[in-house]
Chains A and B, each alone.
Chain A
Amino acid sequence: MKNIIKSFFILIIGLLALSACSKLEPVIDPNFPSIGSVANNASKGQLNNLAVGQVSLARNGLSTYILVVGTLGKELFNFNSTESRWMTELNGLRPIDNSAFYNTATTGFGLPVRQANILIASADNSNSITAPERSAYKGLANTFKGLAYLYQLNVQYRNGVRLDVIDPFKPSKPATYEESLAGIARFLDEGATQLDAAGATFPFVMPSGFTGFNTPATFKRFNRAIALRVAIYQKDWAKAESLLSQTFLNETGSLTAGPQHTFSPSSPDFANPLLNTTSSRIVGVEKIFNDIETGDKRISKVTVVSPSLTYTSGTTYATKYLSNIYTSGTTPVPIIRNEELILIAAEVAAQRGRTNDAVRFINIIRNAADLPNYAGATTSAALIDAVLKERLYSLWYEGHRWVDMRRYDKISEIHLPVTGMRVLLQLERPVQEVNWDNANP
């Protein structure tokens, strides 16, 4: 009896020992490489992949951004048959929701910033690359970092942006609007300096949308173009003036010249997200295209449909103008174009009192649209209004109208297509941003 009990317990102990003796090996992620793998001494191949990822990520949040900003500025509407909040909440007909899908217009630009910070840190911690190569990676990263912050700031405006998010668990508090703009200018300037030190070629193959901007020197022209946008937002006309010549501004060149986001519907790439679909049709606000000057070629940005497209969910609005800009899953989306640079040149000239230059630049745009020369008043205010008008048609559906009217304090002049609609000055801070600061004061 005693022996049996004894042997039973020996067996039990044996069983337990058996469990303890066998090892349980950790399971390595079978699906993806890890962020840790690029943290220390990343190879050139890994850095190249991060660099391409940086270019790819520049498209993050962009479609929501363009549609939200376009709606806010009442240049276009998203007739979305499965989501009436595009028409109601974004147009002030119902309370704005800081947890709704459209907050991607802000939050979507966090990841490109993080990618830039990772790429910069990885390049700094890598022994596998030369100094110019390191500068190339960092110049690319800082350029896209500045661009992403700028989109974010446009949507958040007076709420500002967090300029230091290197440690995602210790982000800086949002800076003021002016500080934010200055911070963005610094990132871009830093990028420009790094591109200057980056040698003649990039260590990676630049994606095809950057043809013409695929060396450190030519890519820097793109960097300076974004810096120019920042300068005019800062109303720093002197700096803007000095930047103009460093960009790819070309008075006689194609208005569409400039780097582009490219798309492909096959993964890991994705299709152009700005296409009209059955459930989402991007339409022009009717008054804008009704008011277009006769013969203006830019009417081709929309097609006139009959009968009119009518939206009836939550609010009722009809328009006969359907966007015609993006027609296929591979149509590229411009990041910044020569046309915008010429219009900025006009604006800078008007602000600097160089009336003749301003008119000359405006006429380049008008003539390209088959319109006669500008014949209006040449006061600074009149010229600015003329530039704003050309910008409305030249840059329609590129996310500028709302920002333009805001920076000239003309939000109240935006035409309200439906009674009761309002133009919001900015989106609310996303709920997660608010919550984070409440919990980490």
Chain B
Amino acid sequence: MNNSYVKCILLCSLLFFALVLHAQDRTLSGKVTNATDGSGLPGVNIIVKGSTSGTVSDANGNYRVSVPASGKKLVFSFIGFISQELDIPTGNELNVVMTEDVIGLEEVVVTGLATSVKRSNLANAVTSISAKELVGTTTPVTTDGALQGKIAGANIVSNGSMPGGGFNMQFRGLSTLGSSASQPLIIVDGVYIDNSQNSNGRSQANKATGGSAASTQDNNANRLADINPDDIENIEVLKGASAAAIYGTRANAGVVIITTKRGKGGKTKVSFGQDIGFSKALSFYGGADWTEQKLTEYFSADEIPALRSARQNGTYTNWERVVFGETGQIRNTRLSIMGGDEKTKFYINGSMATETGIVKNTGFDRYSLRANLDHKVTKWLEVGINSNYIFSNNDRGWAGNDNSNINYGYNLPYTKPFYQLYPDAQGNYPNNPVGENPLAIRDRAINNQKVNRFLQGFSANANVINRSNMSLAFKATGGLDYQSGYALIYLPADLQSQIPEANPGFAQDTRNEVTNYNVQLAGVFNYAAMDGKLDLTTSAGIVQLGTNVKGNYIRGRGLPVGVDNPARAKAFEQDVALQRNTDQGFFAQQEANFDDKVIAAAGIRFDRSTLNGDPSKWYAFPRGSLAVNLAKFGDWGGDILNQLKVRVAYGQTAGLPAFGALYSRLDVTGVGGQGGFLPSTILGNVAIRPERATELEYGLDFGLLGGRITGEFTLYNKKVFDLIQPLVTAPTTGVTSTSVNAADLENRGMEFSLGADVVKTENFTWFIQPVIWYNRSKITRLDIPERLTGGFGATFGQWRIKQGFSPTQIVGQPRTNPQDPTSWTVYGDQQPKYEFSINQRISFLKNFEFSALLNYRHKFTVVSLARVLWDEGGNTFDWNETNQAPDGSTPNGIYRQNVNGVDGSGVPLPGYNPIQTSFLKLREIALYYKIPRNVYSKAFGNVVNGIKIGFSGNNILRWTNYTAGYDPENSNFGSSALGSGVDIGSIPAVRRFMFHLAVDF
């Protein structure tokens, strides 16, 4: 960072904080109670409107607040309850009854970089996920996994089922065709965090990719996995440009704002939680029987003796079940302490999450320690820090693409059940005739990734002016995300697949150091005009962020037996890859709220970045929005229609070119003892510009029957311009491509969610929330030749970039016109026709709570090479059946070894070609029991305040017509914008069961 810039920022901050103003007080007290059961509500925020004066109710709901003479109204607010604004009485007492806010109308949503707005006044469909929705049902492995099926407009796909996660998150269709960030910007308590997938050389170890470059085929977890979901208080998802415009140049793929838990003051609360559980494979894929006739006709008769002897000895074994049949163990422990007083509040949480996979020696451990501290230095100055240290340790095993028979998904499909793979008494693993023994890989190879990570955020708020009709605050926020990753890939030299290598044995030691920092300074000026009916908020500020990435590795081939240190090898490859970039921006926003009836906002942000061709050029991102609460204009809605809001919002964002797009580099080579230069086949483009999105979103929100039924309906049109595309040149020129701004696309979609308290009695409540959404994408401009991308060639299906068509449309062989080399057969779209989910919560007998989340994805296309391998190996579960070939006699497994195209009505036939599928998954289900206090009060007295136990499950049921692999959710290519979702070499999907215990002290 530019040093003088930092100094400037510090100087200005000091200036702001140096301004102070005063006020004088009287005292008011009372009790806040819960409307449902009349119990006292602890932790309610009570503020004298237009002042800094405020307090929090105590454990029994009692409060005491000092009121300045100028104070006119008191605002009572509490997360999950509808807030109230009451006139300050002349007396000294005010009791308040608060009602639960089921759909979250009252929650405060971050809309600007320094301001927020009540959900009921929001002009965008911003999805908020509370802690209860996130982790209340079951404990997810990672935060992104816990969002599946919960966000209208999001397509969140698991990349595989190895412990430690790995997810692809796409909001409202596509925001890039692969050159810019495909994943949303993630901000944790004001810190812009890294969510990349670090490569570790695994796909070089098994030759899935050649060369030495970083690969998306390493099948690693994205680093959001480091964030402990249990720390999260709330997640807000800004899905498109209209909501995210104020985040400017990094927000094209959306913004995920994560707020962690903070101390609320009052009595110190200690909470202990323990989950114990297990996981199992959801399904198996192989198991076709073998006969001598099958060997003779389709394989090799030479193997008949082996088949006979295995049958005789009883050693005929389904090896898939041996490898994937383990039971994974889940153990999560957490202990949090929160509390504080009027001046200082704290939240501390330590957690350990340990999970082993369905394959032996795989697993994910995460140790996280967080301390959030808030302190009121003076009446007008508050400071806060958030510190989080994380250590995560992930053994991901060997899944995905492979070219050396090492991965399970490559050796098991070919391993016939009459082969013998168990090690002998000396621990020697027999050779597998298909090239590698999966048990040897499982027991002896290493694919481990460890991360030490430190997230440090800070905030300072100076309320410089605070009058009943006016306030001015300065806010400084920012922080640091420092990550040090260490990965080891190891294939012992005496493995069957290594022995024939010229230099047997592979080890790679990879170090990744990622430093992200960001600073933001903003001023917020609030002014109440027209006797408080018109609320005007002006905010403005500056932002700087930077990224520094350093990746080193040493790769050794030719290792001594038993040695996993690559430095002891015979032949080496190594690299040091650096990446640096800096972004600067400034923004201003004006919001106006007329009596909660009409809420309008307009803003603009300017950004520049070293990733752009011209680093000094400012790009502008305007936004504007309008929401009208129709039901507040008079009483015409009666008792039935309580809320009716129409809203419209427009905004622009951008996505930056990837690092390196500017550079035409000379690579380095060596031959015969001499070193040399050679040009990269990819040319840089010094005129590259960011990809820019505009979004127009409009919708209708309604609340019926006193908020028992609420709904949110949204339509959007998100256009992305200047998409960076490889201008694919004729490769015989020696240049394969250069990045150019050459395409536009359009995403249109609908999101509809409904929430209903179907039954609401003291002993039984039933809340149901159906959500449905879809998105359609279309390329509206393409200045480069149409092209295929992703996948493994047109035989198996690829993504087609072509004007007038969806970029996620999947096409492949055969050609519909043999003379026309681009007349591909269309196999449908990777994006589902629609996605649907139903969330239900039922509480009964006072202390029981049942919840379930069903998620349905309708008709999407999967490129699967998984079945290809199983069919070639003769082991697919339905290989021997003959119901698929037109002749009625060819085994399915033989018939499918070809591109079979589509049937008369365009439905893909089983074969090498892609197939279309749908699924319904029971994502989450749980039953909890809150043990009544009288049961344990004798034993524990007042020490224990609450005990909750429960059972839950994650992905435990699945219905799908997908038969081309284990699970339609899979991605060999990680979280790419295009080309993810290729199923190859995958392992079974996993169902998880857990028992939960939570104790509050």
A residues lining the B interface (CB < 8 Å): 1, 4-5, 8, 11-12, 14-16, 18-19, 21-27, 29-38, 46, 48-57, 59, 81-85, 89, 94-95, 97-101, 106-107, 109-115, 117-118, 152, 161-162, 165, 168-169, 171, 204-210, 261-262, 264-269, 271-272, 275-280, 307, 310, 312-314, 316, 318, 328-330, 428, 430-439
Contact = CB atoms under 8 A, between A and B. Distances in A.
B634 interface: no
Nearest to B795: A97
Given A27-B610, A50-B676, A82-B402, A22 B734 contact: no
B847 to A, nearest CB: 53
A18 B12 contact: yes
A207 B671 contact: yes
Interface in B666-693: 666-681, 683-684
Contacts of A29: 660, 662-663, 665
A189 to B, nearest CB: 22
Interface centre among A11, A262, A437 (most CB of B within 10 A): A11
A314 B672 contact: no
Interface stretch (B230-238, B574-582, B856-864): B574-582
Interface stretch (B76-84, B387-395, B781-789, B837-845): B781-789
B12 A22 contact: no
Nearest to A167: B733
B525 A106 contact: no
B682 to A, nearest CB: 11
Given A209-B672, A431-B794, A431-B821, 19 more contacts: A15-B542, A27-B582, A31-B578, A32-B667, A34-B664, A35-B679, A35-B680, A38-B677, A56-B669, A56-B676, A110-B731, A110-B736, A113-B732, A206-B674, A267-B573, A312-B872, A432-B731, A434-B821, A437-B730
B674 A313 contact: no
Interface centre among B15, B470, B540, B670 (most CB of A within 10 A): B670
Interface of B: 2, 4-5, 8-9, 12, 15-16, 207, 212, 298-300, 302, 402-405, 410, 414, 434-436, 465, 470, 472, 496-497, 499-503, 521, 523, 525, 538, 540-542, 557-558, 570-574, 576-582, 584-586, 588, 606, 608-610, 615-616, 660, 662-681, 683-684, 728-736, 784-788, 793-795, 798, 813-814, 821-822, 872, 897-899
Nearest to A149: B732
A15 B541 contact: yes
A27 B578 CA distance: 11
Given A114-B735, A165-B733, A312-B298, A269 B671 contact: yes
A262 B300 CA distance: 39
Contacts of B872: 84, 312-314
Contact of B732 (A24, A53, A161, A267): A161
A26 B610 contact: yes
B731 A31 contact: no
A81 B405 contact: yes
Contact of A279 (B435, B571, B609, B732): B435
A326 to B, nearest CB: 9
Interface centre among B497, B615, B729, B814 (most CB of A within 10 A): B729
B472 A82 contact: no
Nearest to A5: B525
A395 B210 CA distance: 28
Contacts of B12: 11, 14-15, 18
Contacts of B579: 30
A12 B15 CA distance: 13
A383 to B, nearest CB: 36
A100 B610 contact: no
A8 B402 contact: no
A267 B212 contact: yes
Given A112-B734, A115-B734, A266-B572, A271 B503 contact: yes
A12 B604 CA distance: 14
Contacts of A439: 784-785
A110 B728 contact: no
A48 to B, nearest CB: 8
B671 A56 contact: yes
Given A22-B2, A111-B734, A316 B405 contact: no
Nearest to A152: B732
A33 B665 CA distance: 6
A286 to B, nearest CB: 15
Interface centre among B5, B571, B786, B899 (most CB of A within 10 A): B571
B491 to A, nearest CB: 11
Given A27-B581, A30-B580, A114 B734 contact: yes
Contacts, number: 332
Contacts of B497: 278-279
Contacts of B787: 432, 435
A34 B580 CA distance: 17
B665 A207 contact: no
B574 A267 contact: yes
21 contacts: A24-B608, A31-B576, A33-B665, A35-B679, A46-B677, A50-B678, A52-B670, A85-B795, A95-B814, A95-B899, A106-B732, A111-B679, A114-B734, A115-B679, A165-B734, A205-B674, A278-B499, A307-B302, A313-B872, A329-B503, A438-B785
Nearest to B669: A56
B586 A111 contact: no
B16 A22 contact: no
B250 to A, nearest CB: 15
Contact of B615 (A26, A275, A279): A26
A201 to B, nearest CB: 15
Contacts of A57: 669, 678
B405 A279 contact: yes
A313 B872 CA distance: 5
A110 B788 CA distance: 20
Nearest to B15: A11
B664 A30 contact: no
B601 to A, nearest CB: 17
A276 B435 CA distance: 13
B436 A278 contact: yes
Nearest to B407: A82
A310 B295 CA distance: 12
Given A34-B666, A99-B794, A436-B785, A19 B299 contact: no
Interface centre among B299, B579, B734 (most CB of A within 10 A): B734
A114 B679 contact: yes
Given A24-B608, A278-B500, A436 B728 contact: yes
A277 B609 CA distance: 47
A384 B664 CA distance: 49
Contacts of A313: 872
Contacts of A36: 664
A305 B606 CA distance: 70
A26 B663 CA distance: 12
Contacts of A37: 666
B571 A266 contact: yes
A277 B557 CA distance: 14
Given A95-B813, A114-B733, A277-B501, A52 B465 contact: no
A99 to B, nearest CB: 5
A115 B678 contact: yes
A98 B677 contact: no
A49 B434 contact: no
A175 to B, nearest CB: 12
Given A8-B472, A312-B300, A433-B730, A31 B821 contact: no
A375 B173 CA distance: 74
Contacts of B681: 110-111
A27 to B, nearest CB: 5
Given A53-B678, A267-B212, A279 B502 contact: no
In the A-B complex, list the 9 residue pairs whose CB atoms are closest, starting with the nearest.
A114-B734, A207-B672, A52-B676, A265-B571, A329-B502, A53-B676, A32-B665, A267-B573, A435-B785
Nearest to A95: B813
Given A53-B677, A81-B435, A168 B729 contact: yes
Contacts of B729: 168-169, 171, 432, 436
B16 A171 contact: no
